[in-house]
Amino acid sequence: MKVSVSKAEPNTLALEAIGFFVPRASKEKSLTALNAMAGIVAAGLNGDFKAEEGEVLILYPQKENFKAKRVFVLGVGQKFSLDAVRKSAASMATKIREMKLPKVGINLTEINAIASEMQEEESYIAQAVVEGFELGLYDYNKLKTDRIQALKDKKHKSEPKFEFKELVLITSAASLKAVESGAKVGEVIGSAQSMVRDLINSPSNYMNATELANAAKASGKKYGYKVTVFDKKKIQQLKMGGLLGVNQGSNEPPTFSILDYTPEGKPKATIALVGKGVTFDTGGISLKPSENMSDMKSDMSGAADVIGAVEIAARLKLPIRVIGLIPATDNKPSGTAQNPGDVLTTYSGITVEVDNTDAEGRLILADALTYAKEEYAPDVIIDLATLTGACVIALGYQAAGLFTNNDDLAEKLSKAGMRSGEKVWRMPLWDDYDKQIKSEVADIKNTGGKGAGAITAAKFLEKFIGDHKAWAHLDIAGPSFPSMGSSGAKSSSGFGVRLLAEVLRNWN
């Protein structure tokens, strides 16, 4: 998607459509001004349009001097916020995709007043608009063809898939540089998030551990950061028992990918990002129910987020070193699969009783967390994983669970969640829960019973960071694939990419 910025008057641009944000608090004033500019008189407009977040009304200008063919009235709720702007831009983009309009604009001529009202930087508002538009424009259609129609009709001619051409942000001369800056950042983050969604939405026969590693290598080659991939032989040499144990039932080999973005000059910090890369999770011998099992292709969402975050750091040339670590495998039942009751020895040397083979994500993360700490001694370790259904029960599909041993890191992630629209909620990590993962035959076991499932999973991971003082675990099981909920959303949300980008961009 091309993004450009114009300081022309909105009425002079011959576009397919222009979107105008309208808050509920000043709805009548905004609609009156819009009517004066474009002549959008519509019967019952004030009653029909509530200006709710994400609400879109399409109108057709009546004034000849207004050159755009359509006006999109975009509700942002009671008042402006970054999240409301992002959601409204996404709603407009979805309509644009449905209507197949190749070039449209969004009016930001009042961005200075909006920024003042929000007490926010103008660049952040422009960034949110572009991120939201990219989010709403997204459509996973790579595997769709028109072969059925072609077989029915020999004269059928294939039509090219719709491709959106350009988003024009219309602003004032005074705000031009700020909008350009924000638009650039928004385009980088938005396009990276779309890439991540493509990875997650790919069926498991298109996205195994090797293909996930190849995706990381392709990103590294394109954007100039180093990617090293360990094959099964190397993983065996390292004695990564957690990753090898989960992989036992598969006929696809595991991979362990290391992504390394190092800036020019001395980095401000080194941050390690660890992502769960289970490319399909059947539950193993502890088999999941068949209903909605197809959604388990999304169990590598954390890994995809890590690729996206390292890519963003490289594209924006951030002054910090970012290390991404991705242990990847599927989790299948077979004659060679690990059994409940088996004991594994992890990379750290800690022994684990496999109480349930469907608690596999924490096993592969265990090896990666220890490797991150020992090999890179990072200032911060953050892991992301679609780890537990228990976290979905606790927080639903709106927020990720945050577990951390560092209050400052908790504050950074919480603030980043609110600004990025990818919210997190801190959960307890008290030692009281340790007894639930105590094993009679090994150092620990990989489940802690029905109660506090998300917390005991986090307590399990905590064992593998040793004495590291700045670690955070994000359980993204709910918001990463909201189609599993009742929201009506389809496929992956790419949750975590904007959150990590916000943290990395503002690190100090």
Q: In this structure, what DSSP letter does residue 9 have?
A: -
Q: Is the Cβ–Cβ distance between 375 and 381 less than 8 Å?
A: no
Pairing mode, strands 343-345 and 351-353: antiparallel
Instruction: Break the chain down into helix, strand, coil percent, rounded to 5.
Output: 40, 20, 40
Q: Which residues, other chains included, contact 347 with Cβ-Cβ below 8 Å and sequence gap of 6+? A: 238, 239, 240, 241, 242, 366, 367, 370, 371
Q: What three-state secondary structure class fits 128? A: helix
144 as an active site residue: the answer is: no
Q: Which two tokens stand for residue 453?
A: 């499932």
What does the alpha-carbon distance between residue 200 and residue 477 come to, in Å, rounded to a whole number?
13
Rounded to the nearest 5°, which phi and psi values hold at 167?
Answer: -110, 125
27, 297, 362, 498: the active-site residue: 362
Work out the burial of residue 88: count CB atoms within 10 Å of its CB; fewer than 13 is exposed, 13-18 middle, 19 or more buried: buried
Tell me which residue of 372, 324, 375 sits closest to 220, measured CA to CA.
324
d(CA 72, CA 57): 6
Which one of the listed residues 97, 103, 232, 288 is annotated catalytic? 288
Q: Are 163 and 141 in contact (CB under 8 A)?
A: no
Name which of 86, 80, 97, 82 is nearest 25 in CA terms: 80
Q: Side chain identity at 352, as an amino acid letter?
A: V
Across the beta sheet with 166-170, the strand order is 2-6, 166-170, 103-107, 18-22, 71-75, 56-59
- Known active-site residue 419: no
Task: Give the active site residues.
Answer: 288, 362
